Amino acid sequence: MFAKEKKFSHYKDQVNHHLDSILPALTGGKPQSLYAPIRYAMEGNGKRLRPVLLLLTCESLAGPIEAALPAAAAVELMHNFTLVHDDIMDNDDTRRGRPTVHRQWDKEAALLAGDGLLALAYRCLLGARSSRTPRMAQIFTDGIIEICEGQALDRDFEQRDDVTMADYLEMIMKKTARLLSICTEIGALIADAGETQISLFRRFGEHLGLAFQIQDDLLDITSSQEILGKDFGSDVKRRKRTFLYVHVTTHGSREHRDALKKIFSKPAVAPQDILSAQQIFKAAGALAAAETAAAAHLRKALACLSRLEPAAATEDLREFIDMLLQRKA
């Protein structure tokens, strides 16, 4: 483990400890056909990045970590709801190195487990009972709706050849970045932040999420399977309209565009095709553009943090995003 990860393992431990303390009561009942898949989904070796982000946000404003734990558990439960349902829709076989819920059981059980995870997330969130709980529940709900929209867009794009960079950014804002901004906004609310702070934390979460997803797109084709925990080039296999794909189809030469579209229109993508796509991404400048775009969003996220100081002690948050965005190291 790297030094920075070690620093944040304390927060992850707090999240896991809290989850361990509430999950038996939340999921210990019958029927097992509902709760065993739910526990399985939550037991995977998840990094708990989102609840840790919520805790760090709350702490940066001198808010009480204890009071933030139920909301942190709620975002992790909700995140796993999206993973379980997305895995069904994408027909994925593995997640975090284990069979997906619908492979371990079946699609019907996984569908229901996902529904249960979402309802349990609300139970955690609403159980907090602070004066700001209604507003947190609204942010949470609006966020889930956007995440559904983002997932629908992502699926739509797989059938489309005309996805623009603006389309792509809208999709990842909803599908990935919104969940991070839910964490930062709710973390700030629990710390009793003012409206300016809440708004800055929301934008911080959004830019962090955009940087995170663009980097995720990049790592899929530049990193090894051991680091990714998933197959190398899985986005190419699934014909995902990633930053790299959209960059080539909107900025690439005709030669690069045609070559990439040819790969993406094949009935089955072979390992050689992934290497060819990797070459095209590199030659067309998509890898460099993704690094530039991720860095730009990271700068914007950091600018939000700077504007929060000195009211917020953001040093830990800065180190956290440093760790988060150095995953390839």
Q: CB of residue 168 vs a second copy: minimum separation in angstroms?
A: 14
Q: CB of residue 91 vs a second copy: minimum separation in angstroms?
A: 9
**Residue 14 near a second copy by CB under 8 A:** no
**Residue 160 near a second copy by CB under 8 A:** no
Q: CB of residue 56 vs a second copy: minimum separation in angstroms?
A: 26
Query: Which of 47, 103, 123, 307 is the binder for a second copy (CB under 8 A)?
Result: 123
Query: Which of 2, 3, 31, 226 is the binder for a second copy (CB under 8 A)?
Result: 31
Residue with tokens 């800065």: 318
Enumerate the β-bridge partners of residue 99.
Answer: 94
- CB within 8 Å of 32: residues ≥ 6 apart: none
**Residue 126 near a second copy by CB under 8 A:** yes
Q: Do 140 and 186 contact (CB within 8 A), yes or no?
A: yes
**Residue 254 near a second copy by CB under 8 A:** no
Cα angle 5-10-15, degrees, rounded to a multiple of 5: 110
Which token pair is 318?
A: 């800065």
**Residue 151 near a second copy by CB under 8 A:** yes
- Phi, psi for residue 98 in degrees, rounded to 5: -125, 160
- Check residue 263 and report its DSSP letter: H
Q: Where are the alpha helices (H) located in 133-174, listed in sequence order?
A: 133-157, 165-172
Q: CB of residue 179 vs a second copy: minimum separation in angstroms?
A: 13
- Check residue 229 and report its DSSP letter: S
Q: CB of residue 160 vs a second copy: minimum separation in angstroms?
A: 11
**Which is closer to a second copy, CB of 22 or CB of 153?**
153
Q: CB of residue 170 vs a second copy: minimum separation in angstroms?
A: 9
Handedness of CA 262, 268, 272, 276 (dihedral sign): positive
Size of the site for a second copy (CB under 8 A): 40
Query: Which of 111, 295, 303, 311 is the binder for a second copy (CB under 8 A)?
Result: 111
Query: Which of 20, 43, 66, 108 is the binder for a second copy (CB under 8 A)?
Result: 108
**Residue 122 near a second copy by CB under 8 A:** yes
- CB within 8 Å of 322: residues ≥ 6 apart: 4
Residue with tokens 């997932």: 151
Query: Which of 14, 80, 133, 197 is the binder for a second copy (CB under 8 A)?
Result: 133
Inter-axis angle of helices 133-157 and 178-190, nearest 10: 170
Distance between CA 40 and CA 268 in Å, rounded? 31
Q: Do 249 and 163 contact (CB within 8 A), yes or no?
A: yes
**Residue 89 near a second copy by CB under 8 A:** yes
**Residue 244 near a second copy by CB under 8 A:** no
Element containing residue 305 per DSSP (H, E): helix 286-308
**Residue 115 near a second copy by CB under 8 A:** yes
Q: CB of residue 129 vs a second copy: minimum separation in angstroms?
A: 7
**Which is closer to a second copy, CB of 32 or CB of 292?**
32
Distance between CA 242 and CA 24 in Å, rounded? 39
Contact positions toward a second copy, by CB under 8 A? 29-31, 33-34, 81, 85, 88-89, 107-109, 111-112, 114-116, 118-120, 122-123, 126-127, 129, 133-134, 137-138, 141-142, 144-145, 148-149, 151-153, 155-156
